[in-house]
Chain A
Amino acid sequence: MRVVVRAFARFREMAGEEATLELPEGSTLADLLEEVVSSHPGLKKALSGPDGPIGGRAMVLLNRRGADPSDVLEEGDEVAILPPFSGG
């Protein structure tokens, strides 16, 4: 199945704006993040934390909503990786 990964701000500069990843059926969000950080080691530190792949100060959204690392992905899902916000 194919899943779209979007990255923003400093993460976009590390990983590119958007990529489509091919993953085995049943893959979880944690599996996808492992795949992303293995291709972009600079992201590993930013996305790793004491709580697992989604931790620290970064945020990961699945289809524009909050998500859990154990969420099972489906064809066409959109995953976004977001550094800490600084708008306003």
Chain B
Amino acid sequence: MAIEITDREFSIEDLVAGAKRPDAGAVVAFLGTVRDDGISGVEVEAYREVAEEELARIRDEAMATFDLKSVDVVHRVGSLGVGEAIVLIVATAPHRQAAFRGCEFVLEEIKRRAPIWKKEIRSDGGERWV
């Protein structure tokens, strides 16, 4: 299981393929991407040491709460253009309900608890922390 904050592009296919396992009949992947709200992209910043600890804690809580077999999280930092991936969560479980719920739990807790920030870069060059 991987928990990673990275300034590099990642392969969704590789992460999903790596998460598949014989005892999990369900693999749910959530991909968060940069939405075009009249912006050209975002800058993503993290308090990396604390964010990685918090992501691992969220993963452990999800594993303890739902009937999951694995949880992987990759979160990008740095400059990202519209359409690029910001976060990928892959949850596997024997059955779909646990995989869906576990994946959603991880996403909502990341948004609430992980020290990560986004700054929107507008097409006219203006900037705004969100």
The answer to whether A67 has its CB under 8 Å from any CB of chain B is no
User: Do A88 and B119 touch (CB < 8 A)?
Assistant: no
Number of residues in A with C-beta < 8 Å to the partner?
A: 15
User: Please, what's the 1-or-0 string for B97-112, where 1 marks a CB less than 8 Å from any CB in chain A?
Assistant: 0000000000100111
Residues A8 and B117 in contact in the complex (CB < 8 Å), given A83-B129, A88-B32: yes
Please tell me the size bucket of the interface on B.
Answer: 20 to 34
Beta-carbon nearest neighbor of B44 in chain A: A87
User: Please, what's the 1-or-0 string for B33-74, where 1 marks a CB less than 8 Å from any CB in chain A?
Assistant: 000000000001111011101000000000000000000000
Complex interface: chain A residues within 8 A of B118 (CB)? 86-87
Complex interface: chain B residues within 8 A of A80 (CB)? 47, 50, 115
Which residues, 56 to 88 on A, are CB-close (under 8 Å) to B?
A: 59, 61, 64, 80, 82-83, 85-88
User: Do B49 and A87 touch (CB < 8 A)?
Assistant: no
Complex interface: chain B residues within 8 A of A88 (CB)? 32, 75, 86-87, 107, 110-111, 114, 116
For the complex of A and B, 7 pairs with smallest distance between CB atoms:
A87-B116, A9-B117, A88-B111, A10-B129, A88-B110, A86-B130, A86-B118
A contact residues vs B (CB 8 Å cutoff): 6, 8-10, 12, 59, 61, 64, 80, 82-83, 85-88
A–B Cβ pairs within 8 angstroms, 11 of them = A8-B45, A8-B47, A9-B129, A10-B129, A59-B115, A61-B47, A80-B50, A87-B51, A87-B87, A87-B117, A88-B116
